[in-house]
Amino acid sequence: MTSPRRPHRPRLPALVAALATAAAAASLTACEADDAGPPVVALLVPGGADRWEDVDVPALGAAVAEGCADCEVVVYDAEADPARQSAQVEEAVEAGADALVLAAVDPSAGGALVTAAGGVPVVAYEHALPGAEQVVAPDRTALGRVQAEAALAALPERPRGRALVVAAAGGGPGAEEQVGATRSALEEAGLAVDVV
């Protein structure tokens, strides 16, 4: 049984812009409860890794609470299942979510998830998604360079010879760019680099 959807609130563009900031560990602003209840932010995470439960969900929840004491955060964990996440987007919308923060299980299908939100503002988290109103994602090139610099700094002396970069299985959007930046920084340090 589905509950009736609350009407979309026109004050939410400010909430969505603030939510993008919250996702980046800043604070939400200008949100308060009204007769329909507190603003609801649905946080849809891909799951499948401890980092979502241990790091991202608490950080996002705390940032939302800090900036919007009246906001309610509802977490949906897709458990690494794209079909489950699709159903969760529909469930969140039907339950009256005022904004979605979406970390897509399959970023290549993220545009369809944004479309399924049916006008509820979407903040794409971790990867850009077509149609999302805001995107909060890492700079993959900078991240790759930082990884290489950290590896070089951890060595007791200047490295010589070859370096092996192990790329994550399945890659994903931005992975090639990140690995390329890591490779480039290591090559600039005088190493020959193999990527596996």
Q: Tell me, yes or no, if the pTM score tops 0.75.
A: no
pLDDT at 57 (0 to 100):
85
Mean pLDDT for the chain overall? 80
pLDDT at 74 (0 to 100):
94
DSSP of the chain:
--PPPPPPPTTHHHHHHHHHHHHTT----S---BTTBS-EEEEEE--SSHHIIIIIHHHHHHHHHHH-TT-EEEEEE-TT-HHHHHHHHHHHHHTT-SEEEE--SSGGGHHHHHHHTTTS-EEEESS--TT-SEEE---HHHHHHHHHHHHHHHSSS---SEEEE-PPTT--TTHHHHHHHHHHHHHHTT-EEEE-
Give the model confidence (pLDDT) of 110-152 as tens digits: 999 999 999 999 999 888 899 998 888 778 888 889 989 998 9
pLDDT at 85 (0 to 100):
98
Which residues of the chain fall below pLDDT 50?
Answer: 1-18, 21, 23-30
Break the chain into its structural domains and give their ranges.
12-136, 140-195
- CATH fold of 12-136: Rossmann fold (3.40.50)
